[in-house]
Amino acid sequence: MNWQMTDDDFEVLKGNIQKELEDIKVSPLHILELLETFDNPYSTEEDFHSILLRIFNSFSDLDSTKLYFNNSKKNVIKYVEDEIYKLICKSNKEYSKERTSLVTKYETVITLVSASMSAKFGIESGLISGIVSSVLLTIIKLGKNAWCIRKTDTLKGTQ
């Protein structure tokens, strides 16, 4: 079956993607950048990968913020990192719901990016979703493992 996407279908798809990304609290700037990339006829697959990596990075970029509790000099980031460590590096029950939610959001982003890339480049969505999922899962797993090892070493050094 040779299916062609109409301009109206494309706008509906973009609207749905925007709503889904807003629902999972993606930065409006990232959403705008993604939508502009859709509209650019010269966008490449690499452009989409770059935006997707920035979206995922925005969920974990805690080092760029300086959070202090009650105007004290005690950095809250240390405590936030400890909780993130419990969330992604440990398998305790305290964060089991949140871990499940992260997996669901990951699957949603993969589906959205795969559908949009499929529409943009005319590639079968099943093929592209497998590729996108594999690449992102590898990148995320490498980052997670490296972060967990660094945090574990840091915790050992402070005890």
pLDDT for res 66: 44
Residue 21 to residues 36, 48, 110, 114, 143, Cα–Cα distance (Å): 15, 15, 11, 14, 22
Exposed, middle or buried by CB within 10 Å (0-12, 13-18, 19+), for 94?
exposed
Where are the domains positioned within the chain? 7-158
Q: Which long-range contacts (CB under 8 A, 24 or more apart) does 130-134 make?
A: 132/52
pLDDT for res 158: 63
Instruction: Report if pTM > 0.85.
Output: no
* CA–CA gap between residue 123 and residue 68 (Å, rounded): 48
pLDDT for res 63: 46
At 156, give phi and psi (nearest 5°): -65, -35
21 neighbors 38 (Cβ within 8 angstroms): no
Q: How many CA atoms lie within 13 A of 94 on its CB side?
A: 9
Place of tokens 């979206």: 55
Q: How many CA atoms lie within 13 A of 95 on its CB side?
A: 15
Q: What is the chain's pLDDT, residue by residue, as a tens digit (159 residues)?
A: 556 778 888 888 888 888 988 888 888 888 888 889 888 888 888 888 888 888 877 776 544 444 444 445 456 777 777 888 888 888 878 888 888 887 778 777 777 777 777 777 777 766 777 777 788 778 888 888 898 898 888 878 765
